[in-house]
Structure 1
Amino acid sequence: MSERTSAEPRSNDTAAATTAHVVPFPAPSAAPQIAFNREELRILFNLYGRMVAEGEWRDYALDFRRDKAVFSIYRRASEMPLYRVEKDPKLARRQGAYAVVAASGHVMKRGPDLARVLSVLEKPLRAV
């Protein structure tokens, strides 16, 4: 017969096995995911709809990450994005939370107001 010490876990002792996986209260909360709100999406999709109607843009993608939200604009779905509209709340007090980034990585415009930042993508009016 083999002798077992009290430190060795038993196969039928489930209470000892579950105490190792208990999460202490209060549990550390996960960082909130950054996203565009309804008003920001309305502004983005108004511009996107106008540019699709003109035949300039064809597709878009939304990416919600822990540190920023990204609205990517494509000419064709198989290409790299023409522009990225990024929302980064960490930069809100310094440079502004919104930025328009070109395909080359160049920041075209940055600021605290989304509509004003997106004005860099608007086509200037022409006399007909």
Structure 2
Amino acid sequence: MSESEPIRLVPRAAARPPAPLPQAQFPSAAPQVSFDRRELNDLLTLYGRMVAAGEWRDYAIDFLRDQAVFSVFRRTSEAPLYRIEKTPRLARRQGAYAVVAAGGLILKRGPDLARVLSVIEKKTLRLVTA
């Protein structure tokens, strides 16, 4: 073979189409719980106000199989100050939303996100003396 000769590709005589890949044997995954647009708007509005006040600096959103969690941090390297949790399976009993403090104490639980978030807003009110 010299450099001037072209390389010819010859198909195999017994060429078969590739075998299909085996299907996964796992049951269909349950959908993840997530926040809808209105809920995210409420959460990010509160987050924006608290960042402007200098209280919060970072947030994280986790979408798990049974709950969605919005965590807020004073500093990035610390544990979350508050966790706002959405757990749909508790909607008929205690309410789907809960605000959990850093120590694990549930500050408020209920079916309405705006009312549950009010517990955080009340914490920011301070008495100013002249």
Aligned length in residues: 112
Give the match for residue 125 of structure 2. 124
Letter in 1 for 2:125: P
1:62 maps to what in 2?
A: 61
Give 5+ residue unaligned stretches, structure 2.
1-15
Describe the shift of the 1:82–1:22 C-alpha distance in structure 2 as closer, same or farther (beyond 3 A).
Answer: closer
Q: Equivalent residue of 2:117, what SS?
A: helix
Aligned to 1:79: 78
The 4+ residue runs of structure 1 with deviation greater than 2 A are: 21-24, 123-128
Which position in structure 2 is the counterpart of 1:34? 33
**1:88 aligned partner:** 87
Tell me how far apart the structure 2 counterparts of residues 23 and 44 of structure 1 sit (CA, whole Å): 37
1:18 and 1:42 map into 2 onto residues whose CA distance is 45
Percent of residue pairs identical:
65
Q: Which runs of 5+ in 1 are unaligned?
A: 1-13
Pairwise CA RMSD? 2.6
Which deviations, in whole Å up to 9, do the C-alpha atoms of 1:20-73 show, x marking residues without a partner? Answer: x4569xx94321100000000000011000000000000000000001000000
- Tell me which structure has the larger Cα radius of gyration: 2
